[in-house]
Structure 1
């Protein structure tokens, strides 16, 4: 299917076609779902190099490392986990009925919801598109997938993945924001959106008109707290990886850092030394991914200019090769003496800029985090277990990683999702299967059922029995 054809197709007929297919087979057998998932795995693996090349074209330049580690490997890894666990996940869950419903039996059956809508972002255009699609198909649904207009080359390869017979299970939708608006207004059985908080609000408002349940994977400003007596070199290593992977264009990238005042200078020194070691060629290096577009590059440059005008100190680890406006490439920029009036402390950065703030008391860092919206990720760097536990109990975040960054989202058997302004709902693992399934309460009574006769008679005996059991 060509890009032009996909954009020209109206959305409602495609939705109706999937809806008809679902109604004809509302419960796709587990073995057939597994066949579909295995076929998808084969196609993803076959198209690996095409996906790497396409993503690089879309970004202007993207390292193969970023596409393989952040997009393709997590997708294939998740798919293997789903294939292994699906038969167990799909089994009915037997529940206790209690004496009041004896001799009936109660179970929860997991039923496909119908046609699921998924709106994917540009920053990880493979993983963040395919993982929810694979999970929704595993749950027995049909899917409409809206891809980002910023990644046309990657989109073309994803269309190849769902060619021929797989189009009956997932239809690819292309187009800009106007198409996305139409998409979110369709009467889906469930809608998953990954993107910014502001757009997430619009998606949720649109979906509410059809009472469509939504899962919102948003973002926000994910903080880092470095604890007292932390190994600063190890902390800097974790920070540098978290900030420079995909050039910081990750919803769970470290957004700002709190460091003990006496360790601030060491942290900056270590970050600069590590950057010079691993990114010595700066924006000329082959290990640095570009910013996705000229507009996003200018947004980041404006943050730095405005912060400097308001008194911030900008630290560049390299004297040259730090920025390339023409190719929209940017190296690491450390920012100190920041204040909340600066735009870079208000917006999610989504780039290789790292504000650093010092603290004298741990509670002051925690209070700052609590005074702002709940983040999608919280990072704690340091070996003080008491401080780790204290920070986790005092703060609310979608995910937490201790002495690591980013990789918590790749845990196959754990849920991923935000809270408040960083999102709602979960997917990944069994939580993803449950998100895209209707948990149907099912009560089964046999031919022997004295309870119903007693209820019809409004028996005093059954009331006395129930009060004796439950009201004491």
Structure 2
């Protein structure tokens, strides 16, 4: 696989250097081909995702993958003329009457390394943005979703030349070779641990990266919260895709007096969302047995340290449809508070005041997302002003990622760089500075030989 991998890269690099400028119509054509792929083969892609997970409903794939993909492509098609337009820049007096602008150009060849949890959105979303920015794209989807990855490779090859957009499949060895290619930009979505490895591989070639990583995204329930409204939204955000979501609420901080009513409200919300767990086609299975074993280890550690682990439903026989677990009495020393959970397990910790929540969050790596529920504006603003996270949703979970014009990305251990909308477009764009000098330029007045005239001119400029 590695020789063909290098051959594909070389073909894309050659093509990008042969035609560095990519016009509006070609960019639109590429996006329209990708949109047509989704429209024509959406059902087949959803079935491939279902085959990889074992249980993952077509409506969930339509909502969580396809809908956001279509929105992002539609936004790019609508806004491309504005995004591509050169941006004039005001010229200072010392350089008048020159004119200056920023010209937006494609970077060249963009690599995209995608995860398994949303195997369409997190693969084709960054690819679409990179194509909108005029780049050639090589996509490496996850080996843990082999059916989806193989079908994507087949469908993309039917609509795109290999030197334009291609999908490379394979295991960990292929992923390592992919990360080591000298791309013009490398976009990776995945865990923080693997993100460090990808960043190190890219750094060897001075390849700039965008890393969308995970992390422990807190959900702060303020004393002013309306639990009847908050609980269904927390439960939905936690259990979408069985918690296998990078921005799922990872743990809850709430005043101790709210723990019992919150637990009851969450249990009722889960029962409404998923009346049954085992055999329910709407409740996604864990992607594989490895994931199930990891979560079992975290829960055993929590129970061994005195946590009250409440099971909200019945697991499937193979354990892959894992019923939600509410972990009351969680403490920071537990393994599930040291690792990103990435499953249907929700620890609840005591936190009495907004200032306490700020201190708790700031003592840990900066999260990819932060959620706050309540009506107290002062408490809300304190959290917004005194904490740093990739993004925030107030009085709901997840939905900031669904806004096609909001930048999405991490900070610190949760990643760097952004995607979505114009911010994502610019991440895949070189903003080239251009200055056009006038024949009437006054710059010659500052050329040597220096003398009294130079001093008078400098004095005038200093006063300005």
Confirm or deny a common fold (TM above 0.5). yes
Match of 2:242 among 239, 247, 253: 247
Deviation at 1:432, TM superposition (A): 0.8
Identify if the C-alpha distance between structure 1 residues 65 and 383 changes in structure 2 by more than 3 Å, giving closer, same or farther: farther
Q: 3-state DSSP class of the match of 1:284?
A: coil
- Checking the alignment, whether the CA contact within 8 Å between 1:273 and 1:317 is kept in structure 2 is no
Tell me, in whole angstroms, the C-alpha distance in 2 between the residues paired with 1:269 and 1:227.
17
Q: d(CA) in 2 for partners of 1:325 and 1:462?
A: 86
The aligned counterpart of 1:234 is 229
Say if 2:272 is the partner of 1:277. Answer: yes
- 1:438 and 2:433 aligned: no
Superposed displacement of residue 13, structure 1: 1.0
Aligned to 2:81: 87
Check if 1:151 corresponds to 2:137.
Answer: no
| 1:201–1:217 CA distance, 2 compared to 1 (3 A) | same
Structure 2 unaligned regions, length at least 5: none
- SS of 2:431 mapped into structure 1: strand
Q: Partner residue of 1:342?
A: 334
Q: CA deviation at 1:278?
A: 2.1
- 1:275: Cα distance to partner? 1.2
- Measure, in 2, the Cα distance between the counterparts of 1:152 and 1:404: 33
Q: Distance in 1 between matches of 2:307 and 2:258?
A: 19
Equivalent residue for 1:263, pick from 258, 274, 288: 258
Task: Give 1:380 deviation, angstroms.
Answer: 0.4
CA deviation map 1:48-74 (0-9, x unaligned): 101111101101110223211110110
SS in 1 for 2:407: coil
Alignment of 1:126-145 (within 5 A): 126-145=120-139
How far the C-alpha of 1:439 sits from its partner, in A, is 0.7
Separation of aligned partners in 2, 1:354 and 1:9? 45
Secondary structure of 1:188's counterpart equals: coil
**Structure 2 Cα separation of the partners of residues 449 and 430 of structure 1:** 35
Q: Which moved more, 1:398-407 or 1:152-161?
A: 152-161
Rounded to whole Å, the distance in 2 between the matches of 1:374 and 1:185 is 27
Aligned-partner SS, 1:405: coil
Q: Structure 1 residues 220 and 463 mapped into 2: Cα distance closer, same or farther (>3 Å)?
A: farther
* Counterpart for residue 308 of structure 2: 313
Q: 1:384 to 1:163 in 2, by over 3 A?
A: same
Determine if contact 2:232/2:266 at 8 Å carries over to the other structure: yes
In the alignment, which residue of structure 2 is the partner of 1:97? 91
Of residues 162, 168, 186, the one that matches 2:163 is: 168
Cα distance change of structure 1 residues 453 and 172 upon mapping to structure 2, 3 Å threshold: same
Given the alignment, which residue of 95, 103, 107 partners 1:109? 103
1:369 and 2:358 matched = no
What is the Cα deviation at residue 9 of structure 1? 5.5
TM superposition shift of 1:365: 2.1
Q: 1:418-472: per-residue Cα shift (whole Å, max 9, x none)?
A: 0000000111111111111111010001332232364255465355334433467
Q: Does 2:25 align with 1:40? A: no
Partner of 1:398: 390
Contact 1:60 1:327 in 2 (8 A): no
Consecutive unaligned residues in structure 1, runs of 5 or more: 1-6
Task: From the superposition, tell whether residues 326 and 41 of structure 1 become closer, same or farther in structure 2 (CA, over 3 Å).
Answer: same
Displacement of 1:325 after TM fit?
5.4
Summarize the Cα distance change of 1:439–1:344 in structure 2 as closer, same or farther, 3 Å threshold. Answer: same
- TM-score of the superposition, structure 2-length normalised? 0.97
Aligned-partner SS, 2:312? coil
Checking the alignment, whether the CA contact within 8 Å between 1:417 and 1:426 is kept in structure 2 is: yes
Q: CA RMSD in A?
A: 1.5
> What CA deviation, in whole Å up to 9, does each residue of 1:318-360 have, x standing for no partner?
3xx2x23525111110001112221111100000000011222
Which of 399, 402, 412 aligns to 2:404? It is 412
Measured in 1, the distance between the counterparts of 2:34 and 2:137 equals 14
| Residue 465 of structure 1 pairs with residue 460 of structure 2 | no
Cα distance change on mapping 1:196 and 1:325 into 2, 3 Å? farther
- The CA distance in 1 between the partners of 2:119 and 2:459, in whole Å, is 58
